Amino acid sequence: MRKCKTLDQFFEALYIGDTATSLHTSHQHMGHMSYATLKAHGPSAIKGMDLGSSTMDIPTICHGCKLSKSTHKPFPGSTKTTSRILEIVHCNLAGSMQTKSIQKSSYIATFINDHSYYMVIYLLKSKNQFVAALQKFLFWAKTQTSDKLHALHFNKGGKYMAANVKNILSQRGIEHHLIMLGSPQQNGTAEQFNCTIMDKAMAMLHTAGLPNSFWEY
């Protein structure tokens, strides 16, 4: 078996060979991406992928997708746009998860730039670690970009986090855009991203037959 040091080398080894890889197998390899998107962008994005010579037979229902993905009708979208990075960052704390990861993580803190949709993720063992994750993100953003964060879109997160987050943001002159209780659609960007990554993770686990504690990987 060929040893691969990078993700590109892994996919190159996966798709270069005499046996064509089926569209459904590629769907499973790529985190259960939609078949239409995979056919449209897969061959140009992944070296060696040639769906033209692959079987296009797909199951009526993908077992992994069925067990891990559920949706409801979308909320109305927003027409507001930003003109530069870090003008608004959408933040969300997801958890606690039904199953702790192997590394004992129970929460996911996500920070999504509204302009570029660049995403930063922190895995947390407890809810109280969010404050440290926020400070880490602010330090990272300041070091890696020439811009300053103007506004953070985030809910109150309980009394403990509300006070600490408010102090951190006020000390840096950052606006705190609060979300009404029980209205996750007001933070749709972060909520949708969390659903997307968890759907992909759980679909891959179901297909691979791995326990849910592997979701962190």
**In the predicted structure, residue 28 carries a pLDDT above the cut 50:** yes
User: 68 vs 113, which has greater pLDDT?
Assistant: 113
pLDDT value at position 1?
46
Mean pLDDT of 133-155: 87
Mean pLDDT of 70-97: 76
**Highest mean pLDDT out of 16-30, 79-93, 187-201:** 79-93
User: 161 vs 16, which has greater pLDDT?
Assistant: 161
**What are the tens digits of pLDDT across the range 158-185?**
655 678 888 888 899 998 887 665 565 6
HSE value, Cβ hemisphere, 13 Å, CA-based, for 205: 19
**What are the tens digits of pLDDT across the range 37-63?**
777 777 777 666 666 655 667 777 787
CA distance 28 to 50: 16
pLDDT value at position 3?
57
Mean pLDDT of 123-134: 90
Radius of gyration, CA atoms only, the chain: 20
User: 72 vs 45, which has greater pLDDT?
Assistant: 45
Cβ of 153: how many Cβ atoms within 10 Å? 21
pLDDT band, very low/low/confident/very high, at 25 (cuts 50, 70, 90):
confident
**In the predicted structure, residue 118 carries a pLDDT above the cut 50:** yes
Length of the chain counted residue by residue: 217
CA distance 41 to 55: 17
pLDDT value at position 111?
92
**In the predicted structure, residue 134 carries a pLDDT above the cut 70:** yes
For residue 56, which phi and psi values (nearest 5 degrees)?
-95, 5
**In the predicted structure, residue 137 carries a pLDDT above the cut 90:** yes
- Kindly list the domain boundaries of the chain, sorted by start residue: 7-58, 88-204
**In the predicted structure, residue 138 carries a pLDDT above the cut 50:** yes
> Is the preceding omega at residue 44 within 30 degrees of 0, hence cis?
no
CATH 3.30.420.10 given to domain 88-204:
yes
pLDDT value at position 199?
83
pLDDT averaged over every residue in the chain:
76
Could you tell me what percent of the chain has a pLDDT over 90?
6
Element (H, E) at 167: helix 158-171
